[in-house]
Amino acid sequence: MDYIRDYTMYAAVFGMFSFSWFGWAQERPRASWRKYLGIASGLALLVCLVGVYLSINNWSKPSALNDNTSLTAYSVTVYTEFIVAGVGAFLFLRRNKKEYVAPWIALVVGVHFTGLVSVFKDPGLYVLAALLVAVSIAAIVIGPRLNVATSAITGIGAGTVLLIYAIIGLARYLAWYYVLDI
């Protein structure tokens, strides 16, 4: 990935979605987990806000999405993700299988990152995709065994993975800005 603005947007977007997943993890976790979920949520929000600030300050810098082909591929991937995730969630809810909604969403989000690798020229998104798919599968197995909601496990796993990627985005920005000084 060659664009400094995209690094800052990784921090902003992944931080925001990490914050959201940690919020979803609040559905029937163990009571002792709540304070850690709160701390993780606060950290994710902080990283998100730093990413937003840096994104605004670097808005005039180039982005992979400045290219029309990349923007189109990005838009198609994201809209497809929303539709597939929404239809699947609707069907799970309709069949009274709400415990599968959060893992389904994480699975679809994970898969969608494979479509974004070529947009951002970032093979690290393959790893992100694999981790989110693994989280979605693990949640279905681990949640019932721990007697917690599958969304608690999905939210903790997805929130953690996305927070790590948000922090990596900040680190890449700092390396680019301060070390490479381009």
What tens digit of pLDDT does each residue of 119-133 get? Answer: 999 999 999 999 999
Instruction: Place 26 in a pLDDT band, splitting at 50, 70 and 90.
Output: very high
Reading phi first (left if > 0) and then psi (alpha if -120 to 50, else beta), residue 71 is in alpha
Q: How many helices (H) and strands (E) does the chain have?
A: 6, 0
Query: Which pLDDT score, from 0 to 100, does residue 177 have?
Result: 76
Long-range contacts of 78-86 (CB under 8 A, 24+ apart): 78/112, 80/112, 80/115, 81/108, 81/109, 81/111, 81/112, 84/108, 85/109
pLDDT of residue 40 exceeding 80: yes
Percent of the chain scoring above 90 in pLDDT: 93
Query: Which pLDDT score, from 0 to 100, does residue 166 have?
Result: 98
Read off the tokens for 155: 């939210």
pTM, two decimals, is 0.94
Which backbone phi and psi does 97 adopt, to 5 degrees? -120, 50
pLDDT of residue 180 exceeding 70: no
Residues 135 and 157 sit within 8 Å (Cβ to Cβ)? yes
Amino acid at 115: G
